[in-house]
Amino acid sequence: MKKLLIYLRDYKKESILGPLFKLLEASFELIVPLVVAAMIDTGIGSGDKGYIWRQCAVMAALGLIGLVCAVTAQYFAAKAAVGFATKLRHGLFAHIQSLSFSQMDREGTSTLITRMTSDINQVQSGVNLVLRLFLRSPFIVFGAMIMAFTVDVKAALIFVVVIPVLSVIVFGIMLVSIPLFKKVQGRLDGVMGITRENLTGVRVIRAFGEEEHETGKFDAETDALKHMQTFAGKISALMNPLTYVVINAGLVALIYVGALQVEEGILSQGQVIALVNYMSQILVELVKLANLIITVTKAVACGNRIQTIFEIPAGMDDGAQAGGQAEAGKKSGRTESSVPAESGADSARGTVEFDHVSLRYHKGGEEALTDIHFKAARGATIGVIGGTGSGKSSLVNLIPRFYDVEKGSVKVDGRDVREYSLSELRDKIGIVMQKAVLFKGTIRDNLLWGNENADDGELWDALRTAQAEEFVLQKKDGLDERIEQEGRNLSGGQKQRLSIARALVKKPEILILDDSASALDYATDAALRKSIREMPGETTVFIVSQRASSLLHADLIIVLDDGEVAGMGTHKELLENCEVYQEIYYSQFERSEEEAAQNAERR
């Protein structure tokens, strides 16, 4: 939590002025009991109404000045707290963006969302209250005790007993509460996860009639959260009654001792009232302090959770900034020396080489890919096929370096991808993920993600190649047609074609289509692949597909089986000597249909 306070450094002035004005307000508040005592002893005792009115005016002035100080302190505290939360949120978001895919998979989307929203809001409230009350409440408590000593030493000894007892209660409950509130936030992550799953998968849930099952899961998770919050709340709820008991016991003792001393003529009635007021001030401030500590314990627990995300190192070093590449190569199993500068010449542009690559998502887990070795020449079309979970997406995700290899190396343009800066590497690559992701805005806005400087002619060319021109022309506003979040107002095939067009706008050296035509019919799929082959330039294309027909034209087809290469070659070669490919192909085409499929592909 302490490390997060660096985000307050731009609000040093507000962080000082807020507590300072609160201390000024507290100073004026400590004077009030003395004014009341003088009013009772001098004004009421002698019947001097003029003196009473003058003291009332003094009290009103003290109250007004205190109000101005309080409002000023609140302004500075709120400004610092909101600014702190804003910078913290920006910093956390930027750090999450630097995490690798595997780290995000391990942490989970729901817990990252909770930390970005609920946790930061709790920390913001904690900072606000700390700036307002953390110095004020102790100042009032110990200030009241000191002022009590100026009135009467014997009576003030009661304060010396009461305050340590209250401190033990307050800080003891705080120590118990902090880990409990941390567990509460953990349970909140679970509720967030289930809520997110249900909202994103609501159609599937209804299609299979699983509403009752999901409702039961949600109820179980929320009940667990409720019980945890109730238990933590019961511990925190002990704060107020225990402090009231101690304070009221102190008041009883104070009135008893004060009455005896008034009877003996040692104290005046006004002085006893002043002592009672100081004890009451301590009561009020300790209640505030108790509530502050409850909020601060939640804030500390949430701050620690946020800090755990910051402590996750960036998923991968940027090649342009990372040092010791040779040493990194040794550790990762690379045996070849770095490619010299001239290897990036035009002869190597657009080439992709997998040099005995192995991939493991988590330490200790099984290998997702094992000893993958091939080279794609510039302008070649590489097909990747295999059963579900065979590692097809894992293979192509290594090219833009979404994951780092464990052994071997992946080279683009003759250079290891780890030697590129991430921006330089990914500028060369256009990728269309398995799930078509569109953002809220217009069709034009989404396409310009590929190249923000593209003109309308380039956008239409990309749409034409992606077989999306026809349905965009049918839209009332054309390129300015509005798209809802995740493209909810488009069909699956339309979303996929727009995603492909977005990648084509970039005019990449390497184009990766990761099962991105699964929602297209065979005719549209064939037209798409034909138009991609006819694109100007020599773009290296990787096509991941479950359809054998989509790969008939590929220069090289890689057949994967459980993370290993089961076969590699052209369609004709694989059909002759690769059992896995034969099984896939003939499960989709009858042997008599083979020739017809090839003819359709040629057309």
320-350 pLDDT, tens digit per residue, is: 554 444 333 433 433 333 333 344 445 667 8
Structure tokens at 558: 């890689």
> CA angle, corner 20, sides to 17 and 25, nearest 5?
125
Report H helices in 99-152: 101-107, 109-114, 120-129, 136-151
Q: What is the pLDDT of residue 84?
A: 93
Exposure class string for 109-128: b at 16+ Cβ within 10 A, else e: ebbbbbbbebbbebbbbbbb
Q: What is the pLDDT of residue 110?
A: 76
Q: How far apart are CA 364 and CA 184, in angstroms?
A: 30
Q: What is the pLDDT of residue 558?
A: 94
Spatial CB neighbours of 107, under 8 Å, sequence gap ≥ 6: 99, 309, 312
Q: How far apart are CA 11 and CA 5, in angstroms?
A: 10
- Condensed to tens digits (0 to 9), the pLDDT of residues 169-197 reads 877 887 787 788 778 877 887 888 888 88
Q: How far apart are CA 208 and CA 215, in angstroms?
A: 14
Picking from 425, 424, 423, the residue whose alpha carbon sits closest to that of residue 410 is: 425
Picking from 88, 79, 86, the residue whose alpha carbon sits closest to that of residue 12 is: 79
Spatial CB neighbours of 495, under 8 Å, sequence gap ≥ 6: 436, 438, 487, 519
Q: How far apart are CA 245 and CA 249, in angstroms?
A: 6
Phi then psi dihedrals of residue 441, to 5 deg? 150, -155
Q: What is the pLDDT of residue 327?
A: 39
Q: Are 517 and 496 in contact (CB under 8 A)?
A: yes
The pTM assigned to this predicted structure is 0.67
Phi then psi dihedrals of residue 360, to 5 deg? -135, 125
Stretches in the chain below the pLDDT threshold 50:
322-345, 592-593, 595-596, 603
Q: How far apart are CA 412 and CA 425, in angstroms?
A: 8
Give Cα 186 distance to the centre of its chain. 14
Q: What is the pLDDT of residue 332?
A: 40
Q: Are 480 and 444 in contact (CB under 8 A)?
A: yes
**Region for residue 42 given its phi and psi (left: phi exceeds 0; alpha: psi -120 to 50; beta: otherwise):** alpha
Structure tokens at 244: 């009231």
Q: What is the pLDDT of residue 567?
A: 92
Q: What is the pLDDT of residue 258?
A: 82
Residue type, 392: K
Q: How far apart are CA 462 and CA 501, in angstroms?
A: 5
Picking from 193, 164, 82, the residue whose alpha carbon sits closest to that of residue 128 is: 82
Q: How far apart are CA 253 and CA 154, in angstroms?
A: 11
Q: What is the pLDDT of residue 448?
A: 92
Spatial CB neighbours of 291, under 8 Å, sequence gap ≥ 6: 239
